Structure 1
Amino acid sequence: MSDSSKRGRSDGTWIAELDICLAKGAEIPEGDTHLLERLARNETPSDLRSEACLSLAADWLDKCSRDHPECDADKNKQAFLPTRIIDVGSPTTPPHLHVTGDGETGKWVALSYCGSADSSFTLNASSFNNLRSGLPLADFPPTLQDAVLVTRALGLRYLWVDALCTFQDNSNDLTVEVSKTSQVYSNAVVTIAATSAETLDDGFLDKREPHFNCSFPWRRQDHPDSVEDGCRTCPVFFRRGRSPLNKDRPRDSRWATSGWTLQEELLSKRLLYYTRREMIWQCRAGKATEPEEEPTRDPTLFSMVKELQDGSDSSEDSKRSMAAKYKVWYEVLKEYVARDLTSENDCLPAISAIADSFHTQLEEQYCAGLWRGDLLFGLLWSLHCSSGGSGPPGRMLRRALLRLFDYQDKHPTLPARKPLTGVSKNRGPSWSWVGADDLAGITWPRESGTFDYLATVVHVEVRDKTHDGFGSIEGMALTLDAPYRHLGLRLGTYSRSPRNPISLVQRALTRLSPLARTRKLAEIALMRPDCLASTTTSGSVIVPSRSKEFTLIQLAKTSIGPRPVLYVLVLQRQKRDKANGAGPQRYRRVGLLRLMPSQPDNDDYIGEAMTDLLEGVAYREVTKKEWPVGTFVID
């Protein structure tokens, strides 16, 4: 049972924390003073269309608007209505599409949902007149029917649904309206998050099946003989309590793992989640769940973004404030890259509205998922090809060495992560994280020290398709001045098992003797390739079998405790074509190196010791003499 006055043990550990709610309809005799009787008053109705559920949602909104000044600082100022919006009508008046006039203002609800790409119920040239004239509510798909009912219950007139308010057969209209997404969600009074609806045909107000995890027997002290054995049994629903162990948003749905819904969630003023088990309210004041009425504050990504939007800079701590804003951006990216995208063209558009919102705070150039003022740190992303997550770069080398010395059984390799499907390696510039093959494996350095940047950003050239700087791009070239060195590598063909996800360069290490070729190995020891190799039907991975020349450029240095760390970008020359034949040599980023000197007192097992040895030799090789500085144009 939840106890808000005790937040964990004194030693910092946590125990299970549960809320217990009695199922709707369970009989509790009057006068029973037992704990379970008191819990029974916190009923969770199984029918989300019930007066109790709809009233609770309306009460949450009413109390938030009335009692939370931080949630509605501009409540007396109505926003301009979107280009088109659904007028939900009334029980006797059918919903219809309203085309707004110039300067028309109002209040609306936004719907966030996972729709089917092939849904026939959309706004297009042939459906426009019917939607504008009005259709019976029964003709709408169940998810949209439910959204209309909730909007009416909240006492609001307008509902914005992307599929019905944007022409789905007009690419120009789609481009224009997608660029307005930030304003649509940030100015909506509340956003309905239909997390339990997998498609438009599912609905989210269907009767909930009671989640009876167990039956809870209790004894009535005042009537011990009222039931057999003096005990009464009643089914109860257990809900996870509030603790840092619980995620800050529902995770058991397609909606919660969609790349598109993240910006709809984070930009909203308020959120009304309809999950499979309960309703959840989220606003700047915190989060509330059934049957609770008052929100409680918990640190979430939503709250971090809202604090950034509400903050004001002062000249004396402007630098620290900017660093905090960049940190929130990387937290957003961390969440975003873990989500699913279905189209190779969605990577930047699906986060464009959040970027637009951040641009208001940062007031600097947006560079394909990164920011000009923090671009050099942004370039330090790396791709983890395994499910090992965000472990140290040396882990991949360590696995190679373990296999070389038959340490497989003692230190098994984790299963491979499944690369993001349907995404092309050509969707973004190679130097940005959007150009990686597997977004789910992207991380940034976790070192907390200060970074000393050795490269300088000279110019960023953007060719975007939407002309707002936040959506799809046709190309983006980055020009850097940096210390450089050329290096030749030789790679070969190898077979990759799903249980041995190792990078191309790291696999090449297993074909050589680390003792005889230490220096050569050290030069490529911590290579983190940005792109996964293509696979044949037999599962073989094909890599170049001839020597290739790569260019290393020193990007930044920092420290982990007393040990300095050096980050080096690995570039590859591009072939000249007619378009750039007369221009400067152009490069593509292919990986990242992280190097540091050897540590005398290291673990004694062979993988750790050899990894540290190679890191140390590579670090000394790179830093023993000053590198010349050159200019590099990276696509």
Structure 2
Amino acid sequence: MDHKLPRERQIKKLFRRIEESTASLISVSSSPLALCDFCQRLRFQPLREGQHYRHGKPDEVTIRAQSGCPLCTLIAENFDLGPSNIPIRLSGIRKKLSPQEKASLVEEGDIEALGVLNGYDRELENPFAHKLALYTNHDDIAAPFIKRRPPIQDFASESTYRLIKSWLDTCILHHPGCSNSSVISKLPTRVVDVGLPGTRQDPTLFTPPQGYKDSYIALSYCWGNAGSRFVLTKEMADLPRLRFPFDSLPRTLQDAVTITRKLGFRFLWIDALCIIQEGDQGADFLRESATMSAVYGNAALTIAAAGASNVNEGIFRNINTEPDRAAQIPYDLPDGNTGIAFVTFEPVDQGDSRINEPLNTRGWTFQERILSRRVVLFYKDQLSWDCTSTLINSNGPLNPHIRYNQDSPGRYSDYVVSRALTNNSGKTRLKEDSDYWRNLVEFYSRRQLTDTSDKLKAISGLAQLIKSETNDSYLAGLWLSDLRNQLFWHTRDPKEKRQEEYRAPTWSWASVDGQIRFWSQGSINYILGDGYNEPTAIVDYQPDTDEFGIVLRGRLSFKGHLCPFNLELFEERQLTLYEFEKSPSFYGLFFDTSSDKEEFFLKKAKHAHFFFHPEQQAVRRTSELYEVTLAMVLKKVDGTYRRVGIYMKRDGGTLFAPRWAKWLDEWVDVSPETITIE
């Protein structure tokens, strides 16, 4: 392809590749099971006017279900029918989206669900919690009114490709928030050339000349165990023309090549084949991993193999073979015509299953999803489309009340838009971005890494994105402008110990494994006040890398009150060691690892641990029995200190407060000093 073509001609050429007809999208057959008399009399116009349809008493619904009525069967099997003497009522539910909804470009449609109310129900805060979803075929006259479509039966079918193309076409041409993102961009250092559309040649490795621009697709997937590795080596990368035999590729990579060709693209970026993984002591990996923000951010589309736990499982391995149990009913339209609707049960917690899909549990794929402008996700049971403007499933617009997208805080660009719409707090740009970063870390820390030394590398692309917007200083996973808040984190599920291989100083969340939580900014501000002395930090990195590279050492200089912890003081306060050791978090003490906890409670460790409170109102007391306390728990090692935990307690009148009241006074009385924490 001629990279010197004007941008307009390149885009037209791309659209000629992906041009398609959506006339034969996924459909289901119209061979209904017999409805009972009650269900046949159901009409939607009264529901549009806010009326309820009395569907009979619970015993009647059960009998009609046993007689084979498909709609009554759905109701009887999936809902509490309530008191036997009160009729079941059906209501119409429309999708209503607030201006801040992510799916704001999805128009409010006609009735898209039936609410099922029993005798216990009055006004439901969330009507979608008791509902039957409606969908119809794309060619039915009800299609303009019912936005949802039938579930996909075969992910590798031509109708699937047509659906993805229609999403991509709509996004590029009609989404205001997406159309400004060019589909033509500078190619990464290496890409896989899958060949021109319609060809069957083996993919080859392509190293574009400097400045070469074109459109490309990126792949996000799980590698799996080491035995399934198919990777680029230094020796392979040095070949003048490297060919990847299609039949030798792992199945997920084969499927990605096929999808790329079917969508009309020529270039595909796959980390295993485009980054040297062996033979150069990690130099290329270190260099290329620092470019992930551009690689995924510039891709015209990212394919996410969400349902595959390893590279051999494939994207197309799961075909939806479950029989469709939807009930077919007449759907009377506002203009007097009648279409066909299919009714199916959709649990309100279905979004939770998405969180547990293999791709959503891995560390590296976290930033790949957030950095990508457009993502098509191949889940185990359906497709999803996620772009800046909308989030949609293959069967139609998402139910806004279902808990989707709880595996990340969303794209940074979405956050910026949301902030502009809703921010009335007067926060500065830096403070807003710091809030977003803390949220990112909390989500990211839930995920797993095969190589735990990648803890900071696997999120460096997101850090670079924040850096480009704020020009803040990045310090081993923390930001200088928000250091006072980001230093006070704790682990919700402490692991046995820190990794032996150094990856971050102990004051950084990146030094431990497990889920991270930050204390609320409001609580920290209340405790520390405005006169707080900001700490200073110095981080040393591996030569020839920047602040997003490998951390060699980090030192935090902090001024505050340092008070040794004495277990005997506990016993004097009549709080048994067993009582405290059994549940230290109940008393506000959170250890970074389980080994830190064990060492803390050993008698031989007496006087080895310290509570360190930042200078300026380390303890605030509003009454004799009310303390608000914040401290790092430190261990002294070779003249410096290392963090082993965090202590924060806001307590009023519990057994804990009076027993430590004297010691809390001693903390404030200790003269402040500047210490170094590593």
Which TM-score band (shorter chain)? 0.7 to 0.9
Structure 1 residue 12 displacement after superposition: 3.6
1:444 maps to 2:542: no
Secondary structure of the equivalent of 1:200?
Answer: coil
Distance change >3 Å, CA 421–CA 612, structure 1 → 2:
closer
Matched, 1:327 2:402: no
- Aligned with 2:385 (options 267, 281, 302): 281
Residues 255-266 of structure 1 aligned to structure 2 (within 5 Å) = 255-266=359-370
Contact 1:449–1:559 (CA under 8 A) maintained in structure 2: no
Q: Match of 2:271? A: 162
| SS of the residue 2:428 aligns to | helix
Corresponding position: 1:375 with 2:483: yes
Query: 1:398 maps to which residue?
Result: none
- Give the deviation of 1:384 after TM superposition: 3.4
**Equivalent residue letter for 1:463:** D
Indicate how the Cα distance of structure 1 residues 168 and 309 shifts in structure 2: closer, same or farther if over 3 A, else same.
farther
Provide the residue aligned with 2:454 in structure 1. Answer: 346
Query: Hey, what's the Cα distance between the residues in 1 that align with 2:646 and 2:191?
Result: 47
Q: Does 1:199 align with 2:261?
A: no
TM normalised by structure 1 equals 0.72
Are the structure 2 counterparts of residues 259 and 249 from structure 1 closer, same or farther at C-alpha, using a change threshold of 3 Å?
farther
**Aligned residues of 1:96 and 1:135 also touching (Cα < 8 A):** yes
Deviation at 1:375, TM superposition (A): 0.5
Residue 275 of structure 2 aligns with an amino acid whose one-letter code is T
Distance 1:448 1:118, change over 3 A: same
* Contact 2:486–2:518 (CA under 8 A) maintained in structure 1: no
Contact 1:87-1:159 at 8 Å conserved across structures: yes
Distance 1:261 1:634, change over 3 A: same
Give 1:560 shift.
Answer: 11
Post-superposition offset of 1:280: 0.2
The equivalent of 1:429 in structure 2 is 505
Question: 1:18 & 1:423 partners in 2: Cα distance?
Answer: 48
1:16 matched to which residue of 2? 129
SS at match of 1:210: coil
For residues 74-223 of structure 1, the aligned pairs below 5 Å read 74-75=181-182, 78-89=184-195, 90-92=197-199, 93-116=201-224, 117-128=226-237, 132-169=241-278, 170=280, 171-212=282-323, 215=325
Give the 3-state SS of the residue equivalent to 2:234 in structure 1: coil
Aligned equivalents of 1:181 and 1:615: distance in 2?
50
Find the aligned partners of 2:356 and 2:478 in 1 and give their Cα distance: 30
> Number of residue pairs matched?
533
What do the CA deviations read for 1:530-560 (whole angstroms, capped 9, x no partner)?
2321899xxx999462422433332276989
Match of residue 655, structure 2, among 602, 610, 614: 610
**Contact residue 202 and residue 246 of structure 2 kept, 8 A:** yes
> Are 1:551 and 2:551 matched, yes or no?
no
Residue 305 (structure 1) shift: 1.9
TM-score, normalised via structure 2 length: 0.68
Match in the other structure for 1:307: 414
Identity %: 24
| Residues 1:486 and 2:597 aligned together | no
Deviation at 1:349, TM superposition (A): 0.9
In the alignment, the residues of structure 2 paired with residue 548 and residue 422 of structure 1 have an alpha-carbon distance, to the nearest angstrom, of 22
Please name the residue that 2:103 is paired with: none
Residue-by-residue CA offset, 1:510-540 (whole Å, 9 max, x unaligned):
xx4743889x999x9543222321899xxx9
Match of 1:72 in 2: 179
Match of 1:61 in 2: 168
Alignment correspondent of 1:253? 357
* 8 Å CA contact 2:328, 2:343 repeated in 1: no
Deviations 1:225-261 (A, max 9, x none): xxxxxxxxx99864446xxx66489223221111111
SS in 2 for 1:476: strand
1:587 and 1:476 map into 2 onto residues whose CA distance is 12
Q: For the residues of structure 2 that align with 1:45 and 1:290, how far apart are their CA atoms?
A: 7
- Deviates most, 290-299 or 200-209: 290-299
What is the distance in 2 between the residues matched to 1:448 and 1:598? Answer: 15
Structure 1 equivalent of residue 673 of structure 2: 630
Distance change in 2, residues 1:5/1:456 (3 Å): closer
Partner-residue secondary structure (3-state), 1:191: strand
1:367 Cα offset (Å): 1.0
1:454 Cα deviation after fit? 5.9
Which SS does the other structure have where 1:545 is aligned? helix
Aligned with residue 531 of structure 1, among 593, 597, 613: 593
Q: Quote how far apart the aligned CAs of 1:428 are.
A: 1.7
User: Would the aligned equivalents of 2:205 and 2:243 in 1 still touch at CA under 8 Å?
Assistant: yes
| 3-state secondary structure, aligned to 2:276 | coil
Alpha-carbon distance in structure 2 between the residues aligned to 1:549 and 1:454:
30
Residues of 2 paired with 1:41 and 1:526: CA distance? 49
Does the C-alpha gap of structure 1 residues 366 and 441 become closer, same or farther in structure 2, counting only changes over 3 Å?
closer
Q: Say which structure is richer in helix.
A: 2
Query: Which segments of 5 or more consecutive residues in structure 1 lack a partner in the other structure?
Result: 25-29, 222-233, 386-416, 492-507, 576-584, 600-608
Is 1:47 aligned to 2:154, yes or no?
A: yes
For residues 29-88 of structure 1, what are the alpha-carbon distances to aligned partners after superposition, in whole Å with 9 as ceiling and x for unaligned?
x99x9x99x989932231111111111001101100001121131427x32111100111
Describe the SS at the equivalent of 1:322.
Answer: helix
Partner of 1:388: none
C-alpha deviation, 1:456, in angstroms: 2.6
1:88 alignment partner AA: V
CA RMSD of aligned residues (A): 4.4
> Partners of 1:57 and 1:344 in 2: how far apart?
35
8 Å CA contact retained: 2:325, 2:344: no
Residue 18 of structure 1: how far off its partner (Å): 5.3
Aligned-pair CA distance for 1:486: 3.0
* Amino acid paired to 2:374: R
Conserved? CA contact 1:185–1:268, under 8 Å: yes
Deviation at 1:218, TM superposition (A): 6.5
- Between the aligned partners of 1:172 and 1:55, the Cα distance in structure 2 is 41
* CA deviation after TM superposition for structure 1 residue 329, in Å: 0.8
Residue 201 of structure 1: CA displacement?
Answer: 1.2
Instruction: Tell me the secondary structure at the aligned position of residue 205 of structure 2.
Output: strand
Structure 2 SS opposite 1:102? coil
Aligned to 2:31: none
For the Cα contact (< 8 Å) 1:86–1:165, is it kept in 2? yes
**Structure 1 pair 207/460, CA: closer, same or farther in 2 (3 Å)?**
closer
Q: Is the 8 A contact 1:86 1:161 kept in 2?
A: yes
**Cα distance change on mapping 1:288 and 1:517 into 2, 3 Å:** closer
Please state how far the C-alpha of 1:217 moved relative to its aligned partner: 5.9
| Cα displacement (A) at 1:423 | 4.1
- Structure 1 residues 618 and 236 mapped into 2: Cα distance closer, same or farther (>3 Å)? farther
Equivalent residue, structure 2, for 1:404: none
The aligned counterpart of 1:456 is: 533
CA pair 569-41 structure 1, distance change in 2 beyond 3 A: closer
Pairwise CA distance, 1:598? 3.7
Among 343, 358, 363, which residue is 2:466 paired with?
Answer: 358
CA distance in 2, matches of 1:561, 1:346: 45
* Native 8 Å contact 1:111 1:147 kept in 2: yes
CA positional deviation for 1:487? 1.5
Matches within 5 A, 1:576-591: 585-591=639-645
Distance 1:132 1:236 in 2: 55
Secondary structure in 1 matching 2:230: coil
Kept after mapping to 1: 8 A contact 2:297/2:373? yes
Whole-angstrom CA distance in 1 between matches of 2:248 and 2:537: 50
